[in-house]
Structure 1
Amino acid sequence: MSSSAVTVIGLGPMGRALAGAFVAAGVRTTVWNRTPGRDRELIERGALAAGSAAEAVAASPLTVVCLVNYDATDAVLRTEAVTAALKGRTVVNLTADTPDRARDTGRWAAEHGIFYLDGAVMTPTPTIGTPHAVLIHSGPQELYQEHRPVLDALGGTHTHLGEDLGRAAAYDIALLDIFWTTMAGYVHALAVAGAEGVAPRELAPFAQGIAAILPPLFQEWAEDVETGSYSGEGNPLTSAVSSMAHIVHASEAHGIEAGVMRAAEGLARRAVGLGHGADGFSRLAEVLARR
């Protein structure tokens, strides 16, 4: 069995992109999916089809898994036949879920003689196999280095974040938190602007301007939270509360639900009530973390 061989379990959009990148790089690639038919294009390009999940993982020293969540991963990997076939082989799980689930899967793997790395794909499917892909990994450093030559076929930047198997999932959850709360704010803004007669395409350039001021704030607020400074010199929480209240009022005046902004406003008011009105918005990270 060639060390330059990989099995991909899960052929949703991301799984197909991963398998396609391996095939394009000349890696012997075996594929399997719970729903038949999704492997047709990959097979035409040179991938090998497996008749079962057990047959698939037995075909390669390395199996890359990309399913919807760890419930799906468990349903495939933790069957008697697949678990037995994986013994002595490596699983790289790029399925998104929580840090605790990643650690639990690592414990299961160790109990059954399976080598295990957790990870996440941080960029969309079109980036896979290009210099723009970003992947993060966690688990044993030596195991990561052993399989890095094959993983490099996925392109882009690979970062090993540490031995703790839950660390990649922790980054993934935190970064997706940024993405989805930001996008929730944007679609809400489009709804409110539209209610006031502002077309989405009219708003978009100004929205991009707002996005451009965020990267330096990310760094500044990270330093605030690490040092405990929470500077509010430029924009104290009392001012933030006032502007958030305006957004809630304008939204609800048009019958647009404002629950997300109400939650943010409520958290900011709580911080003000705790005596942090002169602090910056970064103070909310400390308030949220209080037990």
Structure 2
Amino acid sequence: MTDTMIGVIGGSGIYEIAGLSGAEWVSVATPWGAPSDQLLTGTLDGVKMAFLPRHGRGHVHAPATVPYRANIDALKRLGVTDVVSVSACGSFRDEMAPGDFVVVDQFIDRTIAREKSFFGTGCVAHVSVAHPTCPRLSDACETAARDGGINVHRGGTYLAMEGPQFSTLAESRMYREAWGADVIGMTNMPEAKLAREAELCYASVAMITDYDSWHPDHGEVDVTQIIATLMGNAEKGRDLVSRLPALLGAGRAPCPHGCDRALEYAILTAPDKRDAGLMAKLDAVAGRVLEKATG
């Protein structure tokens, strides 16, 4: 058993976790640059927690400029074992209404301007993201939502778009009708891919604010409408997060789905051909397998 440490990446409207014991904002340096902000650390119900506001306090980072690699590295470097992403999104389904939550289990990545891997020339690795979220951690998120009286949907495909503009009507119809996406957002990719590379369990909770632009009765996305729904969602999101420590517990067995062993056979570059500079940058995210290979 190892110690559980829950890392929460807060999206629009969620900039802190209330009720933490020993709460402290800490700076974490990473070889991938500075994360979005300092991280709020502490304990809740005896479980260690770390909170990172994805856009920074005051919402200073656009979706494409969020330092995703630095964020995941910083969480891993702090000792986080389980990452819960909380983010605002639009809905492509009538039954997934504004104010509802969706525990996402699949993604379609349409982002084009972001660094999507910790690996590259000098150390090549390929991890599987066939099932990009952790069922065990998703179970806890669903239970926390239901216990808090939130109308939650288990399972859904998240279309990650580049942004920062919202979809055209043609795009919205295509994503919904031809591609079968359920919700749309701008921030869960490459976040989920990087969490898998870092051998972190990852769950995504999408908080619906609008119907994108496809819905004939709602028209195009209205930012004032989004903000109004966002405020209610943020309170529910904080309540969900506050219930996770009791559900996950302070002690943690190996992930039954192998999230924490995703790199076991992923690195292909021969040890004598690996780039020393890149290897040094991988000390946190890939330290387990690199130490194993050299030890």
**Normalising to structure 2: TM-score of the pair?**
0.28
Counting strand residues as a fraction of each chain, which structure ranks higher? 2
The higher radius of gyration belongs to 1
State the structure with bigger RCO (CA 8 A, min sep 6), 1 or 2: 2
Q: TM-score, normalised by structure 1?
A: 0.29
